[in-house]
Structures are given as structure tokens and as C-alpha cells.
A and B are shown apart, each in its own frame.
Chain A
Amino acid sequence: MSCALLLLLTSLALAMGTGAAVEIQRPRGVPQSKRQFYEENKPFTCLDGSSTIPFDRVNDDYCDCRDGSDEPGTAACPNGSFHCSNAGFRPAFIPSSRINDGICDCCDTTDEYNSGATCQNTCREMGRKERESLQIMAEITKEGFLLKQQLIHEAKRGQEDKQVKGSGGKVEALRTVKETAEDPEKGAKERHLKSWEEQKELIRMEKDKTRMAEAFLELDDDSDGYVSVAELQSHLELDPDSDGSLTETETQGLLGGEGKVDTSTFETVWSIIKDQYLSEGLLDPPAPVETPQEEQSRDFVSDHDSDHYPEDYAGEEEDVEDDEEDDHEEEEEKVPPTVQTPEKRGDDELSMPPYDTETQSLIDAAQKARDDFDEAERALREVDNQMKNLEKEIGFDFGPSAEFAYLYSQCYELSTSEYIYRLCPFNRVSQKPKFGGSETNLGLWGQWAGPEDNLYSMMKYDHGQGCWQGPNRSTTVKLTCGKETVVTSTSEPSRCEYLMEFTTPAVCQEPASLDEVLHGHTEL
């Protein structure tokens, strides 16, 4: 009864031209893997088990199963899907709603069996094209992957290099050498210095005696072998209270209470007056030049200070980007002009005699050790700097095998009709109008931003220049596998949010064998 009724209904549907009836040899839209569930002439149980229906209700253009599994080949179920085998190309599932909607979705045309749409079977063509492009891609991937291995290797070597340089062992060895050499040098130098000091004292005494004799002769105006009060009184520089006059009593005091002294007693007098005594040939008092000179130099320094402050202030206001340059300039400016303070070179300044050969050889050895050490230390400082940079660099995530390290401190440009875009990986993205105008910061390095399973496929640069009434500019860089490292396109999908496409071998994955790529998913 029910069966007959259904037949009637079907014929009715046919009579109305509904196309509801579908000739089923093998249920339309069922993938190979699920074929077993659709057994002809046996009741069909919905794949979610929700109900069981006669088999003639499978693909009868009415949705009976909640999961849509009874209508794999019609558009009746809102949540169904249709399987196209697409022989010659890749099989696919499409939503049921795309069956007979007048649009060719499956390249084998099987989705449009009753819509009047004229579809061409394009599977072979698409397959061929896909194989071609896969082949090209596979080649790119293969080469790219090789390049990537190289990049990884280079990155590793680079790191080792830096580590060796940075070990510091050499410096320590040189320090020992230096210190060993410096020990005897120090002793010899000290001995030499001591004898030189003794010698210098002798010479000084000799010189003093000579000066005393000269002074005695000079003072003994009447050449009576005595220096008298009167003879000494003309030397105003000896005035103990500096009142401008040398009284008799004062002079007498200088002469030890005597009226006159002979050469032997003069020795004592000399020891008192020798520091003040001016030879009579120089008796004109010297011009007092030192005090104003000091004032001048103080003034100059204070001027310089007051000049400098506003410069510092101005410097702070300038764009952050220019800071580096500013620093150099400022350093130069900060060095004050050398103030020429006249150095008094005493006539009695004596130069030390050369070292004896033994000492000299010790000194030479030590100097060499010192030079070596200094050089090593300089190198160490350099390495230290490098280490600091490296530490900064290490702060960057250059990928699982540091394959992206080579991009560090590089920049890549793309020129469009209006702008030149510049990507400096791990640093910044910018845009500069081609025909004049200033550069715009499109974002500073933020982080890797790919999906969880492919983190290193996207970079995010943010906190770029602010947009008028909008957010700060930001750029997403999409990385794809390529033999060359190059920016391939830029766009601004949303106001002030830029998208850049960038190819690099660093994202190339180990290629599957070409056979696998081409035939892996093919199901007939």
C-alpha cells in the first residue's frame, strides 16, 4: 500500500515536472568510503542512527534524516553534503545547497544534473593544470627547502662563531702573559726610578750650591766677603710681612740677627731666602697675569654649560627615529673646547736618563704583553657588543632552526604605482610615496602571527604611525615558500591595516615526493 502510494507520488511528481525522482544506480553524491551504508533494496538507516527509512527514500528529494544522510545527491537537506569524484582531478565535497543551483561546482559536472546549467567536464584540464602547478610548486619547494637547509646551517655557524669569539679564553691567557711580563718590568722600573730620584737629589743640591754662591757674589756688592743688611735690603721680594718695604730689623732677622754674614753663615740664610730670592737681573716684578686668566676660563665653561641645556631639550623633542644621529652630534658638541692653561715648565725640570738596557728589555717585553692584552681586551669589548646585539637578536624568534635569522638586518622593497614599500624583517615596515613625501611607518616588529599549526607563516608589525581618527597602522606579512626572498605584493584590505606577501625559502617545507603530491588524494 505504502509502496504503491509512493510510486503514485513519484509519478505525480514527474507529471508536475519536478524532477523529484532520481534514477539511482549507485546513490548519487555518496563517497566511496560510505558506499557500504547505502545498500540497494535494504532499509536505509540515517548515518546518525536517528531513523530508518525505505531505500527508495534515499535521494528522493525530501529530507528524512536529521543529519541529511538520506539525500547525499539532492539539495533537500540543509545540512547535507555532496561528493563529486572529479575523475582526473581531486574529489571534493560541496554543500548540498550547491546541487542543481545553476552553478557548476564539481569539475565533473555531477552537481548540475537537473538545473539546465551547461557545465563542461573540466577535471582533466584542471588536473593537468594542478599537476603542472604542483610540479612547479614542488620544484620551488625542493629548491627552497635546500636553500632553507643552507640558511639553517649558516645560522648555526654564525652562532658558533659568535660563541667562539665570545669565549673570552684568549683574553684570559693574554692577561696572564701580560701580568707575568709586567712583574719584572715593574721591579726594574722601580729600581731605575729610585736611583734616578737619588741622582736627581744630588743634582738639585749641586745646583742649589751653585745658586747660593752666585747669590752671595751678587749680594756682596762691595765684595768684602760678607753680605750686609744694607746689601740685602734692596731685595724687596724677601719682605717677610710683604708690606712693600724691607726694614733694617727685618733684614737683620733674615741674616740671623747679624749685621753681616760670611759665606758659611750665608748657607743658613740661603736656606731661608732661596725660595723667594730673585736674581737681580730679574728684579722687575712679574705682571700678575694668572688671576684674570683663571676667571676667563671659568666664564667660558659656564657659558658653555648654559648653552648646552637648551640643546639637550631641543634634542628630546625631535623625532625618536632620528635619535641615533642626534646622539652622535651631541657627543661632539658635548666636548668642551680645550682651555689653554699655560703650563709652567720649571727651568729645573729634568728629564730622566734612558733606562739601562736590562730594564729597557724588561719594559719592552711588558709593553708587548700590554699591547697584546689591550688588543685582546678591545676584541673582547667588541665581542661583548656583538654579544649584546646577539642577545637582542636571540630575543627574536628566528624560527625553530633559526632559518629566518638571515632576514635580520635586511630590508626588501616593492615598488607599486604610488608607493615604495619596504619590509625590514624583525624591524619595521614602511611606505614612501614615489613622487615625494615623507615615509610612513606601517608597523614595528610585533610577533609571529600565523595559526597555531603554522605560526611562522605570518608576521605581524604593529604600532605604526597613527591613523587620523583611527588605529595605529599595522601590517601583516604572509610568508610563502619561494626560492627568492622578495616582497611580492602589498595591499590595504582595511583602512590602515596592510597586508604584504613575502616569499622566502625559510618557510619551505620538506617536499613530499612528487608522486605523493600528485596521486595522494586521487580517488576514482
Chain B
Amino acid sequence: MAAFIVRMGPLLVLWLAVFLSGTWAVDRGNFKTCDQSAFCKRQRALKPGQSPYRALLETLELTNTKLTLQLINDNNKVRLLLELYRLQGNMTRVKINELKPLKPRFEVPDVLINDPPTEPLSLLSQDENGVVLSLGADSQWLIVSAKPFRLDIMEGREVLLSLNSRGLLAFEHLRIRKDTISYKIKNKVYSAWENIKWVFSSQVDPEGAEKKEETDAANEPAEGETAKEDGMWEETFKSHTDNKPNGPSSISLDFSLPGVEHVYGIPEHADSLKLKTTDGGDPYRLFNLDVFQYELFNPMALYGAIPVMLSHSAQRTMGIFWLNAAETWVDISSNTAGKVRHTHTHTHLVNMEGYNYVQGSSETPQTDVRWISESGIIDVFIMLGPTPTDVFSQYASLTGTQAFPPLSALAYHQCRWNYNDQEDVAAVDQGFDEHDIPYDFIWLDIEHTDGKRYFTWDPHKFPQPKDMLQGLMDKRRKMVTIVDPHIKVDSSYKIHNEIRSKGFYVKNKDGGDYEGWCWPGNSGYPDFTNPEMRAWWASMFAYDQYAGSMENMYTWNDMNEPSVFNGPEVTMHKDALHGNWENRDLHNLYGLYVQMATAEGLIERSGGVERPFVLTRAFFAGSQRYGAVWTGDNTAEWEHLKISIPMCLSLGLVGVSFCGADVGGFFKSPSTELLVRWYQTGAYQPFFRAHAHLDTPRREPWLFGPENTALIREAVRQRYALLPYWYQLFYHAHHSGQPVMRPLWVEYPQDTATFSMDDQFLLGRDLLVHPVTEEGGRGVTAYLPGKGEVWFDVHTFQKHNGAQNLYIPVTISSIPVFQRGGSIIPRKARVRRSSSCMEHDPYTLFVALSPKRFAQGELYIDDGHTFNFDKQKQFIHRRLSFANKALSSRNLAPGSQFITPSWIEKIVILGASKPSKATLKTPDGKENLLEFEFDASMSVLTLRKPGVNAGVDWTVVLQ
């Protein structure tokens, strides 16, 4: 331990002493509650139903692409500019900014993949109460009500969603500081009145209102002495003071969702899939933080933030994308949750020519959501669905899709803080072969570097990194090394010197390089928001720059919230400067940029040929484009195993499919049973990596006796056999934004029984997984959805009816997984020591027949690691379908071409009847009889060795 402490430096020890002192749980006192975050407290103090905002209909302008309209705050006469866009693909964008801000407010760049294409809006009617616009599709209207300002999106006579229906639109305009002496002298007259005034107060004082009429928006009334108390110009948390030269700048808007009882998304939180109401507690917080030993089932912020919420009912799925990268809080309330009625009324009547509607009658369930952000503008995308698939496509059209990972990245990863040296790496590699357990990646955490100087190697422990990498390459395996964004301040460190000399570091409020403490001790933080910085960073991954790197070495970005051990809430000071912008404005974007620059570096080093693989801890909307995400530093406890399911499901719903949790749990040491169960669960989650804390005993899979080694081996082998299906799911995620790991309701949107389920999940639509996550579990009750559908146990081939709760007795070797009747899943039965070794192996097709004796599936094949699938259309994508007693393979992508040596080894048809013969027809017109076996007890037909190449057309006819 002494050595450990020496390695970390004295200040860190202090930090650890403070953070770790005796407890195995998060120190909540290190993180703000809404009450401790001045803007959240101010905003949350607002009461609904008193909106001071009015639409100035006379300012309405409608062009081909957008509608603009001014809003006025009747209390302070500050004008806002509303922009409304109808976007292609059934989306509406609402942007609200100050009409004339003192200086520009931050608008989030680099998250949208393009300027979203618009569709024309048309004006249907207008009167003094408001405006009705046609949204084009499906008789959808948008109603703009003038006083108070409000937006309603309708379909027919049904309200889909309302904005500012509760009057919680609140826009703290930028202002000149009022409590300075010069200002006080200038504004003496008004000071007494202003002292008691709220920024966006709805307490209308007739006298004050008159006075305010006289002032103009640019020369705004003062807040006076109360400002300090409200934390508008300065705020202190623990020992940290946040100077706010720009003053208050927060924004808020409420959304009402009639008919909705279920909302999801807004990761990252260690909470259930279905979001809870936040009445009486803190709102869900979105603020990228390094939370030491996070607690479960609460709305505290974690490492990443994706401000996207999905709403779902049996009728419709929608999404709200709040494009803001500042600290954000989300309040959720419901008129049905706990049957507590809200005091304010939901009834709203607009009576305009031809458009009468009533919303929010007391019988209708309704969910109300309120977003609060510290700065920036309101820029919200309303994704109108109506199906879950539509919402995924809509969101993907805005922020892009999941990066298509190299196939091997979907295989098993072996990680530990730390593999000590080259010999250790070689021994672990050898251990996997000795115990015949496949793996593709071995990982090196921070200790592999020379004194936590990233891009370097410890000269004693890793003197010959290329030898080590070559050794792995000889086994067709790979490595990941960690590259964190904090850079050791050390004049003998090339990376530091270059960043400093190029002025690429984030600056502190006084203009000097911002410095904070992290693993290496005193560290600088490169300004990844600067494209030049990112280009330079990317260039550091070139083989001639990153000494000791090779093409089978990939990257892990940790601590990129960023983590600053001695910063407020263990992160960067909000008044730190990224160019002209404060960290306050873009905090949640930092991690995305780190991963973006790193992924770009890996692409560039291969001349744009190879797909990158980068794991990140911090993320934002759009991070899916750059690689994988994991749920950070979890704990070896059963509850943490369970929470891995809703955490990854939530991420999948908002674009990030490549998600996983540390198998075994990072902190503490898992019991053998927990470790085995975690392998079994992790084998069926997208990112499958075992990881462990430095202080925990070793836990390579073979260290727990032969029985447990066998159990873990079997779980890992199941993963490898299923890699063709995983790869195909990721192709789809990349292609169309559909999540890989899905809540059941995504595929069964009308089955209300599924809406809150998060102890089981679907992979694609065809595999249902209910891992055993209970200690000493003797059985699980899985819900098999779909009335009239059937599901097949993938291990026993036993058939079960859909729409039932099925009790499954389990043993320690059980991983309950079911294949949907009506699907075809390709596998590779020859599991080898790495996925690369299996590249040319033949396929086994598992055809699970529906009750109507139908099934459909796909087969996707490419080289597994380059962009040629995209740039040169080098891939095979085939439709496999079984109908009318014939199974056929047809080309789904006629423009593509790829040659594979892989062939069809075996076809297993579940729920089949015994044919008299089976004939294989190939494109050359040949017909061959296939031998088969039929298991009457399970109705399983196995066709022996069709032998046909996986890339060609063929048909098997059963007679």
C-alpha cells in the first residue's frame, strides 16, 4: 500500500482520505443537490400557472423553413425570439433565445450531424389568441397560444404534447451586474423596489410593472443585494467559489404529455428503466461527474449525460431532445403516480375557429416534465414517433448512429487495474489458452504509463511494448491502453510541452492554463472543444508518434468528465474557459470531444481504412458515433449487477448501443457466484468486459476452481457463438439507429405489462434474455411477450407460448435465453480462442418457426474491421426466410459485393415437423438431397451440412 500511495502523490492521498474515509458508498456531501445549485433552486422555486410570457403575434414571420415569433416577459419586458421548425421525419424543433442578448449565448455545436432538413410549415389560421399551423403529416397541427405563450402539438383532436402548459418557461436574460457601486449610483431610484424583485417573477406588482415599462430590455432593472443570496453572480459550494462574470443565465421549459405514464432515457443515472417522478426529491441531474462509489436508485448525476427523454404509451412513442450541454436538471411529475393530484389545473381550452380541444381531463393520465439548464439556449427537438422505431430513426437522423465497431470489440475483453508488466500480460494471455477460454482484448490501465504520462510506457514494466503487442497479434488478439485527457504538468513531457506551447490547454478565469489534480498530480486539461486541439490530439495516435503502438492497439478514454480531484464536485471549475466559452456552457460536451478526437486519431493512423475502437466513460448526445460506453466504477454487489440492465437499456434508447458494465464489479471483490452470474449476464450485454480495482484480489476466470472456470468458459463461449448475430445487430444500430439491447416495450409497444420491465431485455427483436441476478437464485420468472407467439429456449429448444409469465428453474449454469418463434439467428458453433480465429468458420442457422410456420432473419458478413463495408460496399447482407416449407437466402444489398469462404454448416429448425426429404437448390440449378435428423420430442429438425457458401442464393425445400 505504501507503494500505492507513493505512486499517487501526496495530494491524492489527501483526496482519497477525504473520499474513502471508511465508507463504501458515495459521499453525497461532495455533490450538489438542487438546493445547492443556485440556478436549480431559483428555477424550482417558481410555481406553475403564472407564466409571464406572451407571444407577440404581430412579429410572426413564416418562411419556407421556419416560423419566427417574438415572446415578451410581461414582468421585465425582455423579449425572446422563438424559432419553430418542422423537420423531415416527423419532428418539430423549438428554439428560444433572447431577442437581443448582451452577448451571444452558447449553442451546442458538433452534436447534430447536419443542419436538420426542414419541411415547410403552413399557416392554417390566426386570430388574436394564437396561430394554428399544419405540421404536414397525419393531420398534425401546431397551435401557438399567445397569452400566456404556449405550444400544443396535436394529432387530430388529440394533444400529443404541450410546451409551457404549466407556465414554467423561464429565461434568465443576460444582464449587467447591478450590485456594483457604479451601477447602484446610476440606478439609485429603483433600487428599493428592485431589491425584492425576482428575475422572472410572476408576482406582478402594478406599480413596478409601470415603472418597468419605462426601462428598456437592455438596461434591465437590478436584482440588488439579493443577487448574492440567489447565487446569481457568485456561488460557493464547499470550499469552491464559482465566479459568474456573466451572471444568471439559466433557462427552463415545461412539457406536458397527456396520456403518458411512462418516460425513459436521460442517462446516465443508476436508476430503474422507467423514470420516477421527482416530486418531493431532487430532479434527475445531468452533469458529467466522476462519482466515487455511486449509489443506486437515485437521480444523482453520473459520468455522462444524454438529454433525451422518451415517452411511451400503448398509443404512441415520442421523444424530447433538449440540446443543451450545461448542467441540467429534469423534474418529472405525474397525475397518476401515487395518485397525487397536482394543485394546478391541466385543463386548457383554446377556442379558435375550427379547432376546439380539451386537454388534460382528470381521467387522462398525464406526465409533466420540466427541463432546467444553467446556460445556453432552449433548443428542443420533439420527435413525434409514433412508433419506438420511428423515434430511434428520428433521433439518429439528428445525432447520428452507433459507430460500427470492429467485430472483435464485440467479443470478450479482459481488463484489470492493472496488468502489472509484460510478463503478467503474457501469463494472462497464456492462462486463457490453458483454460480454453476465448478472449479478444487485454487492457492496460493507468499503471502501464511512465508516471501517468499518457502515450508513454513504464520503462521497467513495459520495456518492449511492441514485442508484447506482436505476441498478442500472433494469437490474433488485441490490446487497449488507457489515454486520459488530464496531462501531467511536467516540462520534460513532450505532450504537455506541445499543448502548452500551442496554447491548447483550458484556461482558468484569469487566463492562465487551468490546472487541477488527477492521477499524475498537477495536470492540465487540453481544450478538446477546439478543433485544432482535436486535430493535434488525433495526430498523436500516429504509429510514429505514439511510441510502442501497433495496429492491434486501441484506446480507452477514462476520467473525461473531466475528473479533477480537487475541483468542485470533483470536476472542472465552471468558470474555466474554453476559448470564449465557460465550462459552465459546455461542460457535458467535454467527454464527447475527447472520444471524438481519439477515435479520429485511430482512424487517421490507418489512413482512414480501419474502424476505431474507443471506450469512454463520459458522454453526451452524439457520443454513440465514436465508440463504446461503460457504466463506470460500479461495485461487486448483486444490486450493481441488476442495475447494469436498466442502465444499458436507458443508454440504448437514446442512441448508445455499445454499452456495458464492469463484469464482476469494479470496487470490492465479488463472491464466486456473483462473478459467475455477472459473466453470464455480461455475455448477453453489448460491451462485455471484466474489470477490477487495483486493491481487489485477482479474478481471472480460472482462479475459482475447475467448476467455476467451466461455468465462465461456457458463458464466454455462448457469447462467441452468437457473435454473428451481435455483429448484425450492430450493423443495424449503425445503419438505422435501432438499439441493440432493447426493453421489451420497444418490440411490444401495446403490451402494458412490459412497460416497466428492466430485469430482462431483448437483443434485437429475436432474443429474450432474463439473466439470473439473484444470489442463490433457484428460478426466474421471465415474461414471454406476444399473444399468439411462441418462444424457444435456446439451450433445450423447448417451446413456450407468448404472453405469459414463465417460471424457469435455474442452476448455477443456467442463462435463460429464448429465441422468438418466427426468427432465424446465425451462429458460429466453432468457438475458438479469439473472434479473429473464427472469421472464416461456417455458420449454423437456428430457424425458430412461428405458429404459422414462418420465420425470417438476416445474415451480415464483412471483413470485420475496415470501413470497406461503407466506402466500397464490401459486405454480404442476406435475407433468410422460411415460408411454405422452404428456407431461402436472398440478397438484401444488390449493390454490395464481398467474398466469404464461410459456408452453411448446419440448419436447425425449431418447431418443425418431420419432412420426407430435404432438398438444397443452388444457383447453378443443382439440387441435392440433404440428410437430416429429427427429434420428435422437441420437434427439432437438423439439416446436415448443406455446405453451401454463405454469400450465395440458395433454397432448402422440405417435403
Binding site for B on A (CB under 8 A): 2, 5, 8-9, 12-13, 16-20, 60, 62, 75-76, 78, 95, 97-98, 101-103, 417-418, 433, 437, 440, 467-471, 491-497
**Given contacts A101-B832, A101-B833, A494-B698, are A62 and B476 in contact (CB under 8 A)?**
no
Which among B38-46, B101-109, B171-179, B922-930 touches the partner chain?
A: B922-930
* CB-defined contacts of A62 to chain B, threshold 8 Å: 905-906, 944-945
* CB-defined contacts of A60 to chain B, threshold 8 Å: 945
* CB-defined contacts of B424 to chain A, threshold 8 Å: 491, 493
B833 touches A97 (CB 8 A): yes
Q: Among the listed B474, B830, B926, which residue makes an inter-chain contact with A78, where contact means beta carbons less than 8 Å apart?
A: B830
**In the bound complex, CA of A75 to CA of B1 (Å):** 47
- Interface 1/0s, chain B 829-845, versus A by CB < 8 A? 11111001110011000
B475 touches A17 (CB 8 A): no
**When A and B form their complex, which 6 residue pairs have the shortest distance between CB atoms, in order from nearest?**
A101-B837, A494-B698, A468-B1, A16-B949, A13-B947, A97-B832
**In the bound complex, CA of A70 to CA of B837 (Å):** 22
A497 touches B698 (CB 8 A): yes
Which among B283-291, B344-352, B679-687, B689-697 touches the partner chain?
A: B689-697
* CB-defined contacts of A496 to chain B, threshold 8 Å: 1, 695
Q: Among the listed B420, B832, B838, which residue makes an inter-chain contact with A491, where contact means beta carbons less than 8 Å apart?
A: B420
A102 touches B476 (CB 8 A): yes
Max count, chain A CB within 10 A of own CB: residue among B3, B475, B842: B3
A174 CB, min distance to chain B CBs, angstroms = 57
Closest chain B residue, CB of each to CB of A95: B436
**In the bound complex, CA of A494 to CA of B424 (Å):** 11
**In the bound complex, CA of A240 to CA of B921 (Å):** 149
* CB-defined contacts of A418 to chain B, threshold 8 Å: 3
A493 touches B926 (CB 8 A): no
Q: Among the listed B906, B928, B952, which residue makes an inter-chain contact with A9, where contact means beta carbons less than 8 Å apart?
A: B928
Q: Using a CB-CB cutoff of 8 Å, which residues 827-868 of chain B contact chain A?
A: 829-833, 836-838, 841-842
**In the bound complex, CA of A470 to CA of B944 (Å):** 55
Closest chain B residue, CB of each to CB of A418: B3
A20 touches B829 (CB 8 A): no
Could you write out 18 A-B pairs with CB less than 8 Å apart?
A12-B922, A12-B926, A12-B947, A13-B903, A13-B947, A16-B903, A18-B903, A18-B949, A78-B829, A97-B830, A98-B833, A101-B476, A437-B2, A467-B695, A468-B695, A470-B1, A493-B698, A495-B694
B905 touches A103 (CB 8 A): no
**In the bound complex, CA of A121 to CA of B316 (Å):** 66
Binding site for A on B (CB under 8 A): 1-5, 20, 420, 423-424, 436, 460, 474-476, 694-698, 829-833, 836-838, 841-842, 901, 903, 905-906, 922, 926, 928-929, 931, 944-945, 947-949, 952
**Given contacts A62-B905, A469-B20, are A12 and B928 in contact (CB under 8 A)?**
yes
Closest chain A residue, CB of each to CB of B905: A62
**Given contacts A9-B928, A16-B903, A20-B903, are A495 and B696 in contact (CB under 8 A)?**
yes
Max count, chain B CB within 10 A of own CB: residue among A12, A78, A418, A492: A12
Q: Among the listed B5, B905, B906, B928, which residue makes an inter-chain contact with A5, where contact means beta carbons less than 8 Å apart?
A: B928
**In the bound complex, CA of A433 to CA of B2 (Å):** 10
**In the bound complex, CA of A417 to CA of B460 (Å):** 9
A9 touches B698 (CB 8 A): no
* CB-defined contacts of B832 to chain A, threshold 8 Å: 75, 97-98, 101
B943 CB, min distance to chain A CBs, angstroms = 11
**In the bound complex, CA of A101 to CA of B1 (Å):** 43
B841 touches A75 (CB 8 A): yes
A212 CB, min distance to chain B CBs, angstroms = 89
Q: Among the listed B5, B423, B695, B841, which residue makes an inter-chain contact with A495, where contact means beta carbons less than 8 Å apart?
A: B695
A468 touches B696 (CB 8 A): no
Interface of B is mostly: loop
B901 touches A78 (CB 8 A): no
* CB-defined contacts of A13 to chain B, threshold 8 Å: 903, 947
Closest chain A residue, CB of each to CB of B839: A102
B830 touches A17 (CB 8 A): no
A9 touches B474 (CB 8 A): no
**Given contacts A18-B901, A97-B831, A97-B833, are A5 and B1 in contact (CB under 8 A)?**
no
* CB-defined contacts of A95 to chain B, threshold 8 Å: 436
**Given contacts A12-B922, A13-B947, A468-B1, are A75 and B830 in contact (CB under 8 A)?**
yes
A494 touches B947 (CB 8 A): no
**In the bound complex, CA of A45 to CA of B211 (Å):** 103
**In the bound complex, CA of A103 to CA of B4 (Å):** 39
A495 CB, min distance to chain B CBs, angstroms = 5
* CB-defined contacts of A97 to chain B, threshold 8 Å: 436, 830-833, 837
**In the bound complex, CA of A497 to CA of B698 (Å):** 9
**In the bound complex, CA of A20 to CA of B948 (Å):** 11
**In the bound complex, CA of A417 to CA of B458 (Å):** 13
* CB-defined contacts of A469 to chain B, threshold 8 Å: 20, 695
**In the bound complex, CA of A102 to CA of B901 (Å):** 14
* CB-defined contacts of B697 to chain A, threshold 8 Å: 471, 494-495, 497
**In the bound complex, CA of A493 to CA of B698 (Å):** 7
Closest chain B residue, CB of each to CB of A438: B2
B947 touches A18 (CB 8 A): yes
Closest chain A residue, CB of each to CB of B926: A12
**In the bound complex, CA of A102 to CA of B474 (Å):** 9
Closest chain B residue, CB of each to CB of A18: B903
* CB-defined contacts of B922 to chain A, threshold 8 Å: 12
B934 CB, min distance to chain A CBs, angstroms = 15
* CB-defined contacts of A417 to chain B, threshold 8 Å: 460
**In the bound complex, CA of A497 to CA of B905 (Å):** 48
B353 CB, min distance to chain A CBs, angstroms = 70
Extra contacts, 18 of them, besides A5-B928, A12-B928 (Cβ < 8 A), are: A5-B929, A8-B928, A9-B945, A12-B926, A20-B947, A76-B905, A97-B831, A101-B476, A101-B832, A103-B474, A418-B3, A468-B695, A469-B20, A491-B420, A491-B424, A493-B420, A493-B698, A495-B695
A103 touches B2 (CB 8 A): no
* CB-defined contacts of A467 to chain B, threshold 8 Å: 1, 695
A496 CB, min distance to chain B CBs, angstroms = 7
A99 CB, min distance to chain B CBs, angstroms = 9
B444 CB, min distance to chain A CBs, angstroms = 15
B543 CB, min distance to chain A CBs, angstroms = 23
* CB-defined contacts of B423 to chain A, threshold 8 Å: 491
B373 CB, min distance to chain A CBs, angstroms = 38
**In the bound complex, CA of A440 to CA of B5 (Å):** 14
Q: Among the listed A8, A76, A433, A468, which residue makes an inter-chain contact with B830, where contact means beta carbons less than 8 Å apart?
A: A76
Closest chain B residue, CB of each to CB of A96: B830
A520 CB, min distance to chain B CBs, angstroms = 23
**In the bound complex, CA of A322 to CA of B585 (Å):** 60
* CB-defined contacts of A12 to chain B, threshold 8 Å: 922, 926, 928, 947-948
* CB-defined contacts of B948 to chain A, threshold 8 Å: 12, 16
A245 CB, min distance to chain B CBs, angstroms = 86
A356 CB, min distance to chain B CBs, angstroms = 77
Closest chain A residue, CB of each to CB of B436: A95
Closest chain A residue, CB of each to CB of B697: A494
* CB-defined contacts of A471 to chain B, threshold 8 Å: 697
**Given contacts A78-B830, A97-B833, are A17 and B901 in contact (CB under 8 A)?**
yes
* CB-defined contacts of A468 to chain B, threshold 8 Å: 1, 4-5, 695
**In the bound complex, CA of A283 to CA of B649 (Å):** 117
Closest chain B residue, CB of each to CB of A497: B697
**In the bound complex, CA of A101 to CA of B841 (Å):** 9
A102 CB, min distance to chain B CBs, angstroms = 6
* CB-defined contacts of B20 to chain A, threshold 8 Å: 469
* CB-defined contacts of A19 to chain B, threshold 8 Å: 901
A97 CB, min distance to chain B CBs, angstroms = 4
B947 CB, min distance to chain A CBs, angstroms = 4
* CB-defined contacts of B4 to chain A, threshold 8 Å: 468, 495
* CB-defined contacts of A78 to chain B, threshold 8 Å: 829-831
B928 touches A16 (CB 8 A): no
* CB-defined contacts of B837 to chain A, threshold 8 Å: 97, 101-103
**In the bound complex, CA of A78 to CA of B837 (Å):** 14
* CB-defined contacts of A491 to chain B, threshold 8 Å: 420, 423-424
B411 CB, min distance to chain A CBs, angstroms = 14
